[in-house]
C-alpha cells in the first residue's frame, strides 16, 4: 500500500477506531453500540460499517502493526540483497508460493492466457533470486479434504453438540478476525478448524520441503503472492510462529499488485521474460499443469463439502449444484432434497453487507444452514483489494474482475480426492490421513479476543 493510500485509510477510519475503542472499553456485550456495529448504524451521526471495521488496522497492536509493516516489497528486497553478499550465515533459500486467484490478474495484465502468464511470473520471480516457485492449489486441496472430513464429523454429532453446526469456512482472514474480535463465542466454536490454503502451504514449505532440502526451516524465506492484503494479517498469527527457530510458516505476503509494482519499478517487459515452469513440491513427480477447484474462484469449499456430504451422508451423487440467489449474487444458497425432504442447506455469503445480514440473523436465532462459506470480499477472492482495486481508492475495477473470472474459469477442474500427489503427501509427510501429524499440520484453533457472545436461544441450525 502506498503512503498516500495509507494516509487516506487512516483518515477514513479514525472515527471508526475511536468508536471501536470506546465500545470495547466502555460497553458490555449487550450494549446498543454493539448492536449498532452489527447492523452498520451509529447513533452519533456517522456510520460504522463492517467494511470499515474489517479493512482498517485500528484494532492492531503495535507489535502486530510492526510485523505487518515488515511484509513489504522492501523486506523482500532486503533478503534478496543479503543473498547477494558473501556472508553465508545470512543466506536464505527463497520459496515463493502463488495463490491461483492471483494468476488471472497477471494473465489480464500481461495479455496472455493463464498458463503463459504463470510461466512469465515464475520467470520474473526467478530473475529476482527466488529459488523455487510453487502454486498453492495443492495446499488448498488439503484444506478442502480436511473441511469435508470435519463437516461429516460435526454433522454426526449435531444432536448432542450445540456448537457442531453450522460450520463456517475458515479461509478468509478478514472474516476470522471479525469473528474472534467481535462475535466471540457465538461464532468461534463453529469455525472449521482446517487451516487456510496459505497456512497449509506454509507448513508444507517449512516442514516437508525444508526436510527434503536438508535445511532448517529458518534457512528458508517463504513468500506468498496473494490477492488480498488481509493475508498479511493471517501470516503473523501467533500459532504460525516457531519461537524455537524464530521463523514463521509464511515470512512475507505480497499482493498481486505489489508484485506488479516491482515489475514496473524495474521496467520489466513481459516480452523479455523467460517462460519458466512452476516447481513441484515432489520434484518431477506429479502433473505440472495448472488446475483449479470447483466454485466461483475461491477454491469452492461450499461445493466440495456439499457434494461430499450428499454422498457420504445420504448416498446421493450430485453432479451440478444449483444456486438460489437471495439478496444478491453474493448471498446464495444451495439445497439438497429427497422426496420433498430438505436434507442439506448451505449458503455462500460474500461481502461485508451480506455478513451484516448473516450476523443479524444469527443474533435472532434464524440461521437455517449447516454450512456457510463466508468471504469478506464481494465476489470472492478474485476481487481481493490487493489486485482488484481501481485507480479510485476504495473502488473495485469491475471490468478487471470480470476478465479475471473468465480467465480463472478457463482452468480445468480437478477434484482433490483424485489428486495422487495429495495421497502421497498424506503418507510420506503426515503418516496417514487420521494421524496426529495431520491434525497438527493441517488444523488450528480460533479463539475469542474481544467481547464474549453467547449463542442465542432456539438457534435454528
For residues 286, 292, 228, 41, the Cα torsion angle rounded to the nearest 10 degrees is -150
Averaged over 40-60, what is the pLDDT? 43
Q: pLDDT tens-digit profile of 155-210? A: 999 999 988 999 999 999 989 988 888 888 889 999 999 999 999 999 999 999 99
Which of 27-36, 101-110, 358-367, 437-446 is predicted least confidently? 27-36
Q: Does the pLDDT value for residue 28 go beyond 60?
A: no
Q: Does the pLDDT value for residue 268 go beyond 60?
A: yes
Task: Give the predicted TM-score (pTM) of the model.
Answer: 0.85
- Choose between 68 and 130: higher pLDDT: 130
Instruction: Identify the band that residue 9 occupies on the pLDDT scale cut at 50, 70 and 90.
Output: very low
Residue 80 neighbours by CB distance under 10 Å:
15
Choose the most confident range, by mean pLDDT, from 26-30, 62-66, 166-170. 166-170
Q: Which residues of 371-410 are buried (b: 16+ CB within 10 A; e: fewer)?
A: bbbbbbbbbbbbbbbbbbbeeeeeebbeebbebbbebbee
Instruction: Identify the band that residue 60 occupies on the pLDDT scale cut at 50, 70 and 90.
Output: low
HSE-up of 126 (CA within 13 Å, CB side)? 17
Enumerate domains of the chain plus CATH numbers.
3-59 (no CATH), 66-139+196-291 (3.40.50.1780), 142-194+293-409 (3.40.950.10)
DSSP-assigned beta bridge partners for residue 393: none
Which of 26-30, 123-127, 231-235, 305-309 is predicted least confidently? 26-30
Q: Cα separations (Å) of 285 from 288, 290, 349, 425?
A: 9, 15, 38, 12
Query: Residue 46 CA to chain centroid, in angstroms?
Result: 31
Give me 339's grid cell: 422426496
Instruction: Identify the band that residue 32 occupies on the pLDDT scale cut at 50, 70 and 90.
Output: very low
Give me 20's grid cell: 471501536
Amino acid at each position: 500500500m502506498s503512503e498516500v493510500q495509507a494516509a487516506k485509510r487512516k483518515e477514513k477510519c479514525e472515527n471508526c477506531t475511536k468508536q471501536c475503542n470506546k465500545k470495547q472499553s466502555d460497553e458490555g456485550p449487550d450494549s446498543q453500540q454493539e448492536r449498532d456495529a452489527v447492523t452498520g448504524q451509529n447513533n452519533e451521526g456517522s456510520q460504522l460499517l463492517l467494511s470499515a471495521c474489517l479493512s482498517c488496522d485500528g484494532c492492531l497492536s503495535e507489535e502486530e502493526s510492526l510485523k505487518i509493516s515488515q511484509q513489504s516489497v522492501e523486506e523482500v528486497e532486503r533478503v534478496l540483497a543479503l543473498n547477494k553478499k558473501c556472508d553465508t550465515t545470512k543466506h536464505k533459500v527463497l520459496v515463493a508460493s502463488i495463490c491461483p486467484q492471483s494468476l488471472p490478474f497477471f494473465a489480464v495484465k500481461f495479455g496472455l492466457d493463464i498458463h503463459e502468464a504463470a510461466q512469465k511470473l515464475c520467470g520474473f520471480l526467478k530473475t529476482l533470486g527466488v529459488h523455487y516457485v510453487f502454486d498453492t492449489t495443492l495446499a488448498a486441496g488439503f484444506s478442502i479434504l480436511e473441511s469435508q472430513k470435519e463437516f461429516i464429523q460435526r454433522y454426526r454429532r449435531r444432536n448432542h453438540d450445540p456448537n457442531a453446526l453450522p460450520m463456517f469456512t475458515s479461509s478468509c482472514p478478514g472474516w476470522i478476525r471479525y469473528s474472534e474480535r467481535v462475535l466471540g463465542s457465538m461464532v468461534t466454536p463453529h469455525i472449521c478448524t482446517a487451516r487456510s490454503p496459505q497456512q497449509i502451504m506454509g507448513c508444507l514449505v517449512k516442514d516437508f520441503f525444508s526436510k527434503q532440502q536438508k535445511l532448517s526451516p529458518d534457512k528458508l524465506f517463504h513468500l506468498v503472492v496473494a490477492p488480498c492484503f488481509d493475508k498479511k494479517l493471517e501470516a503473523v498469527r501467533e500459532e504460525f510462529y516457531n519461537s524455537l527457530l524464530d521463523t514463521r510458516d509464511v515470512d512475507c505476503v505480497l499482493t498481486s499488485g505489489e508484485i506488479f509494482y516491482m515489475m514496473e519499478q524495474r521496467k520489466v517487459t513481459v516480452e523479455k521474460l523467460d517462460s519458466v515452469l512452476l516447481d513441484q513440491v515432489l520434484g518431477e513427480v506429479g502433473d505440472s499443469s495448472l488446475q483449479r477447484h470447483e466454485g466461483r474462484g475461491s477454491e469452492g469449499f461450499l461445493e466440495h463439502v456439499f457434494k461430499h456430504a450428499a454422498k457420504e451422508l445420504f448416498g446421493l451423487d450430485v453432479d451440478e449444484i444449483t444456486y438460489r440467489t437471495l439478496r444478491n449474487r453474493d448471498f446464495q444458497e444451495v439445497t439438497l432434497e429427497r422426496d420433498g425432504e430438505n436434507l442439506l442447506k448451505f449458503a455462500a455469503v460474500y461481502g461485508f453487507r451480506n455478513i451484516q445480514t448473516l450476523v443479524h440473523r444469527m443474533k435472532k436465532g434464524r440461521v437455517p444452514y449447516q454450512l456457510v462459506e463466508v468471504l469478506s470480499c464481494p465476489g470472492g477472492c478474485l476481487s481481493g483489494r490487493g489486485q482488484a482495486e481501481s485507480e479510485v481508492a476504495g473502488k473495485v475495477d469491475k471490468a478487471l474482475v470480470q476478465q479475471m473470472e473468465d480467465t480463472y474459469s478457463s482452468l480445468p477442474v480437478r477434484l482433490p480426492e483424485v489428486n495422487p500427489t495429495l495421497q502421497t503427501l498424506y503418507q510420506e509427510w503426515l503418516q496417514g490421513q487420521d494421524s496426529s501429524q495431520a491434525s497438527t499440520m493441517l488444523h488450528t484453533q480460533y479463539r475469542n479476543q474481544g467481547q464474549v457472545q453467547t449463542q442465542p436461544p432456539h438457534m435454528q441450525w
